[in-house]
Amino acid sequence: MGGLGDFSSGENICDPGRPCHSVACRMQDPNFVQRAFAAIAPRYVLANHVLSGGIDVLWRRRVAALARAQPPGRVLDLATGSGDLAAAVAGACPGALVVGADFCAPMMAHAQRRGLPHLVVADGMALPFADGAFDLVTVGFGLRNMADYGGAVREMARVLRPGGRLMVLDFSQPAPWLRGAYKWYLHRVLPAVAGLLTGERGAYEYLGGSIESFPSGSAMTALIDAHGFQAARCFPLTGGIASLYVAEKPGAPN
Ligand SMILES: C[S@@+](CC[C@H](N)C(=O)[O-])C[C@H]1O[C@@H](n2cnc3c(N)ncnc32)[C@H](O)[C@@H]1O
């Protein structure tokens, strides 16, 4: 297979029996992902803030504000990592029980240090939670790294109650006027700066390709709706560099 292919269906395109070194496969290989995040964990938060010029904080606040608009009782922040999104949601929804889950323990050590009390080491592809356990599932910059996007979204639907909400925050394809400069930043500037900050330039060299092959806009809303949700909507942020996708699990009681 020559190019990165069309991942909008959520299916895996590569033969699992053969080694594949495409950017998209590498960034969805659970062993590679765990090792990469364990290596950058100590400087992850700093690198995020520097590389985004602090805008990542505003993006997470947007998720938290939307969560607060319909206050949830139980929230799962999947791929919680250092807990940035979980902390923003917990701050905005003081009455909520916010559970953070991630399969990389070194990343979650930071979440623990910032005082998040409910942390579970778990794989997003097979969550250790009961059907319908949560009112809201959030996932910030984590779905892109999961082995099967559609399977992961379906698992999020399983742990949500009927009528529960999903919020996916991730990078997306920016508006056409921004694309050239953004591509240059992603492939040239970001790996160099991230390498200096974290000492792990290699982990960031895959980021640009993984963003470019990740379903964006209507492709992502279609993927979400095809895997257990309805009425998925996309809210582009900062010229579409990131997007917030919001959807509802069907079957809310009247
Ligand atoms: C870029 S960090 C995002 C952290 C945090 N959500 C944020 O907003 O900054 C991605 C996280 O996704 C986690 N992750 C990736 N694939 C996962 C999976 N299959 N199950 C659980 N966590 C996963 C990684 O371990 C990593 O901590």
**CATH number of residue 56's parent domain:** 3.40.50.150
Would you say residue 13 lies in a domain?
A: no
Q: Distance between CA atoms of 139 and 132, rounded to whole angstroms?
A: 17
Nearest CA to ligand 1 atom 14: 79
Would you say residue 16 lies in a domain?
A: no
Q: E strand or H helix at 54, and its extent?
A: none
What SS3 state is found at 126?
coil
DSSP strand pairing (160-171 vs 242-248): antiparallel
Would you say residue 4 lies in a domain?
A: no
Would you say residue 50 lies in a domain?
A: yes
Top mutation candidate among 26, 32, 104 for ligand 1, by most atoms within 8 Å of CB: 104
Would you say residue 7 lies in a domain?
A: no
Closest CA to 70 of 217, 248, 251: 248
With a 6 A CB cut-off, is 243 part of the ligand 1 pocket?
no
Nearest CA to ligand 1 atom 23: 79
Start-to-end Cα distance in the chain: 48
Would you say residue 1 lies in a domain?
A: no
Query: What atom of ligand 1 comes closest to residue 147's alpha carbon?
Result: 19
- Which pLDDT score, from 0 to 100, does residue 70 have? 96
Top mutation candidate among 33, 148, 204 for ligand 1, by most atoms within 8 Å of CB: 33
Q: Distance between CA atoms of 13 and 5, rounded to whole angstroms?
A: 7
Report the separation in Å between the CA atom of 151 and the middle of ligand 1, taken as the mean of its atom positions: 16
Q: Distance between CA atoms of 176 and 93, rounded to whole angstroms?
A: 36
Would you say residue 8 lies in a domain?
A: no
This prediction's pTM: 0.90
Report the separation in Å between the CA atom of 32 and the middle of ligand 1, taken as the mean of its atom positions: 12
Beta-bridge partner residues of 244: 169, 235
Would you say residue 163 lies in a domain?
A: yes
Domain total in the chain:
1
Nearest CA to ligand 1 atom 10: 142
Cβ atoms of residues 232 and 221 within 8 Å = yes
With a 6 A CB cut-off, is 120 part of the ligand 1 pocket?
no
Q: How many CA atoms lie within 13 A of 195 on its CB side?
A: 11
What residue numbers bound the domain in which 50 lies? Answer: 23-248
Q: What is the pLDDT along the chain (254 residues), one digit of tens a residue?
A: 222 222 233 334 444 444 444 555 677 889 889 998 898 888 888 888 998 899 999 999 999 999 999 999 999 999 999 999 999 999 999 999 999 999 999 999 999 998 999 999 999 999 999 999 999 999 999 999 999 999 999 999 999 999 999 999 999 999 999 999 999 999 999 989 988 988 888 778 888 888 999 999 999 999 999 999 999 999 999 999 999 999 999 997 65
